[in-house]
């Protein structure tokens, strides 16, 4: 499990670095557009589209990162306060299995949407729409990997 855990940690680090780069690019593009629009009165046709697509990828990648850390927003009141640790671990594992199932379904159907309609070309950037739309199936698959790893640790290694 140590090798798998290290691979998932490496993938998470890569996602965090990619998210940081996308945030820098998003900030630079937005700043450039403000300067060009309000100082030089010459807005670009592609900046809002690129900003939108970067924000989609940042949001979905962020969801993957917090899935690895098990730090999604949760209710403060939970069943885990009232049951022993062993039972709580199995409840968490069951929830992970349910969420993983949902992520696999989401990955499958979003992949189908991307393959069917992703060939359209964006008006501003002239890139295929599958590039921004791929954020959903790619990150749903990554979240599934993280959840499977966490579930394995909960059930087999009795960690968490």
pTM: 0.86
> What's the confidence (pLDDT) of residue 145?
94
The domain spans of the chain are 2-155
> What's the confidence (pLDDT) of residue 128?
93
> What's the confidence (pLDDT) of residue 29?
96
> What's the confidence (pLDDT) of residue 107?
96
> What's the confidence (pLDDT) of residue 74?
61
Instruction: Give the residues of the chain that fall short of pLDDT 70.
Output: 1, 72-81, 159-160
> What's the confidence (pLDDT) of residue 84?
79
22-47 tens-digit pLDDT: 999 999 999 999 999 999 988 898 99
> What's the confidence (pLDDT) of residue 127?
92
CA distance 96 to 119: 34
> What's the confidence (pLDDT) of residue 80?
62
DSSP sequence for the chain: -HHHHHHHHHHHHHHHHHHHHHHHHHHHHHHHHHHHHHTSS---SSHHHHHHHHHHHHHHHHHHHHHHTT-S---SS-GGGTS-HHHHHHHHHHHHHHHHHHHHHHHHHHHHHHHHHTTPBPTTT--BTHHHHTHHHHHHHHHHHHHHHHHHHHHTS---
> What's the confidence (pLDDT) of residue 76?
52
> What's the confidence (pLDDT) of residue 2?
81
């Amino acid at each position: 499990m140590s090798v798998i855990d290290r691979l998932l940690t490496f993938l998470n680090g890569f996602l965090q670095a990619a998210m940081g780069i996308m945030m820098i690019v998003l900030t630079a593009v937005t700043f450039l557009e403000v300067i060009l629009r309000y100082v030089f009165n010459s807005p670009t046709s592609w900046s809002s589209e690129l900003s939108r697509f970067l924000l989609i990828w940042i949001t979905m990648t962020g969801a993957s990162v917090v899935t690895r850390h098990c730090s999604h927003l949760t209710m403060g009141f939970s069943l885990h306060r009232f049951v022993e640790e062993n039972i709580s671990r199995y409840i968490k594992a069951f929830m992970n299995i349910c969420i993983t199932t949902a992520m696999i379904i989401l990955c499958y159907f979003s992949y189908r949407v991307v393959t069917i309609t992703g060939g359209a070309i964006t008006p501003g950037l002239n890139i295929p729409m599958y590039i921004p739309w791929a954020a959903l199936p790619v990150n749903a698959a990554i979240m599934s990997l993280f959840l499977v790893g966490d579930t394995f640790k909960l059930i087999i290694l009795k960690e968490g």
